[in-house]
Amino acid sequence: MVQPDPIGEDRRPEIWIMTEKEVRDMVDTVCRKKEGNVNVTVREEELKMILKRIGSSWAAFRAFRCLQYADTNKDGQISGAEIDKLVAYILKWQATKLNKY
């Protein structure tokens, strides 16, 4: 006889997956609050804040990986066209998080 899963379907963690627009809006909101201007540049501390809001339990590590992936000119911040790569990375990370459950 097969025993039921002790965790059960109703006890799985709630997963909140954001759309591309929601991720872009969050990046804009976090960065503009700090800088107060229209040009969006994302630094590591801001990445940690964004990732914590999305639900990353390892925000510092994930921010480091985001910088490695999206910061193509290696200036320590993500700006301009690199924002597109950042958004793509976050969406991909969320999809892999969803597949775990």
Q: 6 phi and psi, to 5 degrees?
A: -65, -25
Amino acid 2: pLDDT: 45
pLDDT in tens, 2-34: 444 444 444 444 556 788 999 888 888 887 755
In the chain, the percentage of residues whose pLDDT exceeds 90 is: 20
User: How many C-beta atoms surround the C-beta of residue 19 within 10 A?
Assistant: 10
Task: Find, among 37, 70, 73, 75, the residue nearest to 51 by Cα.
Answer: 70
Amino acid 1: pLDDT: 47
DSSP of 24-87, one letter per residue? HHHHHHHHHHHH-SSS-EE-HHHHHHHHHHHT-TTHHHHHHHHHHHH-TT-SSSEETTHHHHHH
Q: Rounded to an integer, what distance in angstroms lies between the CA atom of residue 98 and that of residue 57?
A: 14
Q: What is the mean pLDDT of residues 29-46?
A: 71
pTM of the model: 0.72
Q: Rounded to an integer, what distance in angstroms lies between the CA atom of residue 83 and that of residue 6?
A: 42
pLDDT in tens, 62-73: 999 999 999 999
Helix (H, G, I), strand (E, B) or coil at 94: helix
**Above 60 in pLDDT, residue 84?**
yes
